[in-house]
């Protein structure tokens, strides 16, 4: 397994994790469940930690894919900039989640305005992460419309590699 493979495995976690955190916070607010809201905060904190690994693996992935046919380096650079923005946004949202979680403790009721702050941060962060992911798809995934590489499929009677 190389850094590009690791990056591809890890990079789905922030988007899915943030969506889960947003859903948990919204559900917790609707049900007035502090436990579910706290779960959403914990998910955001976990996503913040995993996103560090996503970003670092992406920095190393270029060494693997940089010379592959069809890889467009300006697309790599755009994805890297968007990835940096996503890292910053996720770390801020995760940090705010941690601060609110610690400030209100285990037994205290989290005030709705603080839940709203974390929720707003998570929604903005989700948009930033999805942008980075979309730009990443333009590096070497022709199915996303990022580049026009022709993929030749093996003939039906040809053995699989």
pLDDT tens digits, residue range 17-53? 999 999 999 999 999 898 999 999 999 999 999 999 9
Report the pLDDT value the prediction gives residue 63, as an integer from 0 to 100: 84
Report the pLDDT value the prediction gives residue 148, as an integer from 0 to 100: 47
Residue 69: phi and psi, rounded to 5, are -65, 140
Least reliable range by pLDDT among 27-36, 45-54, 124-133, 137-146: 137-146
| Domains of the chain, residue spans | 3-144
pTM assigned to the model: 0.82
What is the percent of the chain where pLDDT is above 90?
A: 52
DSSP codes, 75-139: HHHHHHHHHHHHHHHHHHHHHHHHHHHHHHTTTSPPPHHHHHHHHHHHHHHHHHHHHHHHHHHHH
C-alpha–C-alpha distance, residues 8 and 160, integer Å: 23
Report the pLDDT averaged over residues 132-152.
65
Q: Minimal CA–CA distance to 100: which of 41, 154, 17?
A: 41
């Amino acid at each position: 397994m190389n850094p590009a493979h690791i990056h591809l495995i890890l990079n789905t976690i922030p988007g899915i994790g943030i969506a889960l955190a947003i859903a948990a916070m919204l559900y917790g607010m609707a049900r007035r469940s502090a436990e579910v809201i706290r779960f959403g905060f914990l998910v955001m904190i976990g996503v913040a930690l995993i996103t560090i690994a996503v970003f670092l693996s992406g920095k190393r992935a270029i060494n693997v894919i940089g010379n592959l046919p069809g890889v467009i380096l300006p697309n790599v650079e755009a994805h890297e900039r968007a990835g940096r923005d996503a890292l910053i946004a996720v770390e801020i949202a995760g940090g705010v989640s941690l601060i609110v979680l610690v400030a209100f403790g285990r037994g205290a009721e989290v005030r709705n305005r603080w839940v709203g702050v974390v929720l707003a941060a998570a929604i903005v962060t989700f948009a930033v992460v999805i942008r980075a992911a979309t730009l990443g798809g333009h590096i070497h995934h022709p199915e996303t419309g990022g580049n026009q590489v022709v993929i030749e499929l093996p003939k039906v009677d040809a053995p699989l590699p």
